[in-house]
Structure 1
Amino acid sequence: MQYTMPTIFLASGSPRRLELLKNLDLNVRQKKLPFTEKINRRLSSNKIAEEISYYKAKQAITHIKNDEILLTADTIVCKGNEILVKPRNQNEAFEFLTKLSDTSHSVITGVTMGIPNKLSTFSAETKVYFEPLSKQEIHYYVEKYKPLDKAGAYGIQEWIGWSKIFKIEGSFSNVMGLPTHMIHNYLVNWQKS
């Protein structure tokens, strides 16, 4: 039996998102586009991630080909009411990880998929629990892994995830940048329609 899905146009430069889609055995065409991300802090955290992914999709929709489905996404890290975006420098990365040490936080990814005039937006939330991080451990991680391209200043698939995250509630892939189970379900339903 042949298992085929439409080609995904991933409007993102993220190597992690590309890896996740390839792990779903999808054909992916990737292109990094220059997005301007604006955060509307009046919205709930889930709606912020969804709105940013939708805004990216509206900018990227003209780049898809006839046989492709667009995918845009945005991941945010929330510690209480504070949103930890991508750190601007190593000092801010150190500050973010200090805030996440010995506590829990939420990782929310908003995803928009579809074709012109038929876009769907959804989100997933995962709760992540960190053990205490010493200053030395934070410095080691920031200097070696340079997590300036990651919301919250960490990658769960890197050293910090394997050594300091002791529990998650929800999707692991969501913390990496895409809720793959939701994307797969979207594509299955797309083929039925």
Structure 2
Amino acid sequence: MTTAVYLASASPRRKELLAQLGIEFSQFSVDADESQLPNEQPQKYVERLARLKAKTGVELGYIDRPVLGSDTVVVIDNESLCKPLDEADFTQTLKRLSGKTHQVLTAVAFATQEKILSCVVTTDVTFKDLTDEEIKAYWLSGEPQDKAGGYGIQGLGGRFVTHISGSYFCVVGLPLYETEQLLQAFLRR
């Protein structure tokens, strides 16, 4: 695929994943209000954010090629878990994930001035039972602070995962297969 796109994300993980697809791209960050609306379901929330980021890129003047926006949320008991606010929030989050299966939702959107197309990919992730010591040590590693749900599967947090069902790359932050398929569908429209 030789199409060039803009990546509306400061995420180094999304940058690495998009590069794996062999798509030429330029990266920039967008400042978008990521607050969840009252009673907004996780799937609608994450898709709205991905679409907002892509549309914001277009509004900023990135108009000569499609803009890719993406967002990821971790969901347990139908509640979206965002990046931890502090250590107490992180500890509470990991205790909720401990020994249970949760969902990771990543939305992908492509936008131009004329159109927008998006999808949401869901992966089930199961954690082992975590000890208080493991949770504390993981926080002190510095890794969880900027991660949705307080962990990174591609890093130290991967050792907590006993099973995944779905796209590994969805959990990292950009589902490769679905992103490529969405771009092809976007270009055909």
Q: TM-score higher than 0.5 here?
A: yes
Query: Which residue pairs with 1:15 in the alignment?
Result: 12
Structure 2 CA distance for aligned equivalents of residues 58 and 65 of structure 1: 10
Structure 1 CA distance for aligned equivalents of residues 38 and 100 of structure 2: 23
Moved >6 Å (runs of 4+): none
Check whether the contact 2:63–2:113 (CA below 8 A) recurs between aligned residues.
no
Structure 2 CA distance for aligned equivalents of residues 48 and 41 of structure 1: 10
Displacement of 1:146 after TM fit?
A: 3.2
Structure 2 CA distance for aligned equivalents of residues 192 and 112 of structure 1: 15
Displacement of 1:27 after TM fit?
A: 1.2
Distance 1:191 1:50, change over 3 A: closer
Displacement of 1:168 after TM fit?
A: 0.5
Identity of aligned residues (%): 32
Structure 1 CA distance for aligned equivalents of residues 118 and 100 of structure 2: 30
Structure 2 CA distance for aligned equivalents of residues 71 and 165 of structure 1: 29
1:70-95 Cα deviation digits (max 9, x unpaired): 01111111110221111112221122
Match of 1:64 among 62, 68, 78: 62
Amino acid at match of 2:182: Y
Query: Which residue pairs with 2:166 in the alignment?
Result: 170
Check whether the contact 1:16–1:177 (CA below 8 A) recurs between aligned residues.
yes
The normalised TM-score by structure 2 is 0.93
Displacement of 1:44 after TM fit?
A: 2.6
The normalised TM-score by structure 1 is 0.91
Distance 1:91 1:153, change over 3 A: same
1:144-164 Cα deviation digits (max 9, x unpaired): 133121110000001221x22
Query: How many residues are aligned here?
Result: 188
Check whether the contact 2:4–2:24 (CA below 8 A) recurs between aligned residues.
yes
**1:111 alignment partner, SS class:** strand
**1:140 alignment partner, SS class:** helix
Question: Structure 1 unaligned runs (5+)?
Answer: none
Query: Which residue pairs with 1:182 in the alignment?
Result: 178
**1:19 alignment partner, SS class:** helix
Amino acid at match of 1:25: G
Query: Which residue pairs with 1:127 in the alignment?
Result: 124
Displacement of 1:20 after TM fit?
A: 0.5
Question: Structure 2 unaligned runs (5+)?
Answer: none
Query: Which residue pairs with 1:33 in the alignment?
Result: 30
Structure 2 CA distance for aligned equivalents of residues 117 and 188 of structure 1: 16
Moved more, 52-61 or 96-105: 52-61
Displacement of 1:38 after TM fit?
A: 2.5
RMSD, aligned α-carbons:
1.5
Distance 1:186 1:81, change over 3 A: closer
Displacement of 1:105 after TM fit?
A: 0.4
Give 1:32-181 correspondences, 5 Å limit: 32-62=29-59, 63-66=61-64, 68-161=65-158, 163-181=159-177
